[in-house]
Structure 1
């Protein structure tokens, strides 16, 4: 299997490792050290070598950081992980900090009233991140200092850097040759008066060069750094062992391969001005340029917006991947409903679902660790089942199943909440409100120029009406055989990036009652231009096309709560699920699907 159920958190190892880190910091004259959940490529997921935060603290979430001081070690976690962290760290030695409600600078002000020197690794933090912290610390005696990584020094068996083979990605799926992409972006550099751009995001490099890799679990990207020149030529800095003859032939003469060790000298040899993304590139990059006297200008990674707005070929490819994935999901749901109540565990559910995806013979990997949380575990938003936490599905409980697949032609992400036997009216009412929010976003028509923050409230309004809410964004961007969490597009109250045709997003409102149950419903959607309406204003309007075609469990819906347009949307959606998926599944699954998609 792709998914492992071994327990990766080691809370009991935290105290001795914390003590060793504090001794190391004292020898270096440091008051503290920041340990992020990040690597030099600022991706959400990291290779085993870069799991410093979980190695030190036991916390395995995909976002957060720690700050170790002589008298306290704070673990900063957002709303998704405030339940999870309590069971993964030694609370006698590590203190959860509600972030971003409480910022690092504010916390440091309270913990170090007399000042101190807090170290950080400039490879693991962006220039923007450090600048904001330093600005917030202005007027205090607290200083930040770029140092070598203190965790690496005390980690005796730290894994080696990943070295997976880099492979070409088919041009017919990408929709554009990498030569054309490089040429197009180079024009933008010349128009801006810039001689080069430094690219450090792994998925940006993968997209730009039409390549994929295996350096990061669940995300088919290779590690490396790139310098794109205003001529369209590019230098890729990566481990030569990852590059075979097929890759070299694919890249051609305009892409030069260099080892990672040559990245620093390569930066120092440039003639400015050089574009650096202060929000994604390691601070180390701009420090190297400054020390060499190379002019550095801040600007967004030139790949980010083109990568986010998919080509027609990418949308066609991922549409097929989603239909294939939906067929696997329907086979799984057919199997699930046939199991006696109380006979399954969470691991059984995750194992079976992966098996149905594997049966397609097209699955390259799962797109993230399957979340299969029943009862109270369902209230842990990013719950990862382990052998020690594995719970049995009990009569009257819900189970949240959030999963996805990585296929050559697309990346999927779907959540369905399922009942185990009969569930309570309260759970059904909450489920129906979550469904209303998901439908509201799905059928939305909106003016060009709106961002995710303008749409987020639509998913929450039915919950707000009952005094309820959820502590995560409504949606994130999704790649095409790339990262399942892709920026900059998202549906969130903090997102100011205007949505554009071709952007793929998740639509996943939820509700979580700690210690009781969780609910989430998720489809993927793609932004497109809205069809013209008679009598409408002469203005550009957008809407969403749905990519995910799997029934929503009608047993959890209170029909009387739905309005006529909501009911019509749901019945239309289910009719489309039947039409699109029925030809792709077994006879037993087709019978199940026919019943599951009956009009409400």
Structure 2
């Protein structure tokens, strides 16, 4: 079926069940950012392959809401379909919830699959729609009725993440979690986010491309712990090891029955990540919305993880040096497809040892393609790189002993004065954030401005956040911390704590011209104490040169030049 045929089929289902609008998000039942093919309903219905977006289908309109990272990509992929792009986070443009409330008649009926929405998201929808007496039903999955060739749920095996890398045993982590549960007055702790389950039980999987996680649920009680996962996915030896650590295995789908028959007590849960259908199964008197313990603990890397991350940065940096040496030589002999660069990078990383895979599909954006923030090169349409212009490479590796994420923008010929000015403005913001010292309790929203202020002086900006948390052989985008303009998002409102690893990645993107981004991973650490309290700073971990060809030296202060020289001496 074409996209328009799929939309027509969905509308027939909407007519059958009496819905005026249907909402399709990008997520899975675990509120994952990146999902297995089985859960890519939004991509299937719209043809848009970006990782973020929401589709709304009404009787007469189909809209895709996505953010600035994907505006160009969405325009290209939606062309020829009846899906209309709605740009998020731009002035005077309504978000999808507001649009629904304003464009449906009173007493209309909206539907969505409650397994794919968090409790918080459903609450926002209900609040907005109720003002116009619009009802919301979360009990059906209309897409499942028409997606006849839907990929099955993944069945990849689960494997142990060795304590020599993890730094803490399952038992130690469970003990710390239970101690915090007791402080919060919780008898049970329900965990539905895949990376937090993998971290807590020192397990990894291959169910989601580039993310070493597996589909599961977890429930920790005062005296026992439970893992709900496809039984065939766990090898016998690992089953015995989990049992020895007091972890009981159940089928993945058994979570509903267990929650319906939980013994009395308070169930600690996170409304931002728990899906609405599981929330409904827990009696109201037992619900204890509150802290996501595993997520907070996972974000603060232990000394073993930090030591391994330092080693990984060396290996990853060597692979990138070899890549650019190969590229600079090869483009003098022949044009090189963007896709070949990504393939070559995988080969070089694999040769360094302990490599599991990429942490995301590499973004190899030559010239104008670099302006597409989450560009993905395709063999039939990608650009061919020549010894001129600039190239943006954003890539990362998954190693058993760490996760990397780096972006470099390099000149392949003589850069223009404008390119050098723009690159240097981005670099100045990157350095400002890297050099900053700040009081304990400072949040990502407070620091984000440092990376943008030089661009702002030239009336320039970028539409994405300045940084995100990074996992340890886990998701490359790891909540809760980051650098973001909004103080209400997790990234914007979370205070930094020593041990957190975050990306520092300001950029600038000129449509149909080029893109610039400079990204390093940074480690939060103590900077010292004064009469004004404790102060923190960030140590740069990533090891790879910044292209001096693109720098306009006259724009740098002596302190910025010193930072650059010191970085290149690391």
- What TM-score range do you get, normalising by the shorter chain? over 0.9
Instruction: Confirm or deny that 1:500 pairs with 2:500.
Output: no
List runs of 5+ in structure 1 lacking aligned partners: 1-11, 577-600
Instruction: Confirm or deny that 1:242 pairs with 2:233.
Output: yes
Instruction: Confirm or deny that 1:487 pairs with 2:484.
Output: no
Instruction: Confirm or deny that 1:112 pairs with 2:109.
Output: no
1:18 alignment counterpart: 7
1:574 alignment counterpart: 568
SS class of match (1:567): helix
Do the aligned partners of 1:14 and 1:90 also contact (CA within 8 Å) in 2?
A: no
2:319 alignment counterpart: 328
Instruction: Confirm or deny that 1:558 pairs with 2:552.
Output: yes
Report deviation, 1:249: 2.7
Q: After TM superposition, list the pairs within 5 Å mapping 1:4-403 onto structure 2.
A: 13-90=2-79, 92-101=81-90, 102-231=94-223, 233-253=224-244, 254-270=246-262, 271-290=264-283, 295-341=286-332, 343-394=335-386, 396-403=388-395
Report deviation, 1:136: 2.0
- After TM superposition, the score normalised by the length of structure 1 is 0.91
1:9 alignment counterpart: none
| Deviation readout 1:428-456 (Å, 9 max, x if unpaired) | 11001101111111111111000000100
Moved more, 92-101 or 496-505: 92-101
Report deviation, 1:398: 1.4
Moved more, 100-109 or 196-205: 100-109
Report deviation, 1:134: 1.5
Distance 2:185 2:358 in 1: 42
- For the aligned residues, what is the CA RMSD? 1.4
- After TM superposition, the score normalised by the length of structure 2 is 0.96
Moved more, 72-81 or 139-148: 139-148
Do the aligned partners of 1:15 and 1:90 also contact (CA within 8 Å) in 2?
A: no
SS class of match (2:241): helix
| Deviation readout 1:161-218 (Å, 9 max, x if unpaired) | 1111111111121111111111111122222222101100000000000111111110
Distance 2:511 2:472 in 1: 34
1:581 alignment counterpart: none
Do the aligned partners of 2:3 and 2:81 also contact (CA within 8 Å) in 1?
A: no
Do the aligned partners of 1:432 and 1:561 also contact (CA within 8 Å) in 2?
A: yes
Do the aligned partners of 2:101 and 2:128 also contact (CA within 8 Å) in 1?
A: no
Distance 1:162 1:500 in 2: 35
Distance 1:26 1:50 in 2: 24
User: Residues 316 and 338 from structure 1, CA distance in 2 versus in 1: closer, same or farther, beyond 3 angstroms?
Assistant: same
Report deviation, 1:92: 4.4
Distance 1:99 1:228 in 2: 38
Distance 1:453 1:389 in 2: 38
Report deviation, 1:230: 2.1
Distance 1:303 1:362 in 2: 26
Distance 1:92 1:110 in 2: 24
Distance 1:20 1:319 in 2: 52
Report deviation, 1:54: 0.9
Query: Which consecutive aligned stretches of 4+ in structure 1 deviate over 3 angstroms post-superposition?
Result: none
Distance 1:368 1:278 in 2: 27
SS class of match (1:83): helix
Among 516, 522, 527, the residue aligned to 2:513: 516
Do the aligned partners of 1:417 and 1:519 also contact (CA within 8 Å) in 2?
A: yes
Distance 2:149 2:163 in 1: 40
Report how many residues are paired.
559
Distance 2:241 2:540 in 1: 34
Do the aligned partners of 1:274 and 1:294 also contact (CA within 8 Å) in 2?
A: no
Distance 1:13 1:142 in 2: 31
Report deviation, 1:100: 4.2
SS class of match (2:523): strand
Distance 1:505 1:537 in 2: 28
| Deviation readout 1:58-110 (Å, 9 max, x if unpaired) | 11111111011010011010111111100112454001112245222211123
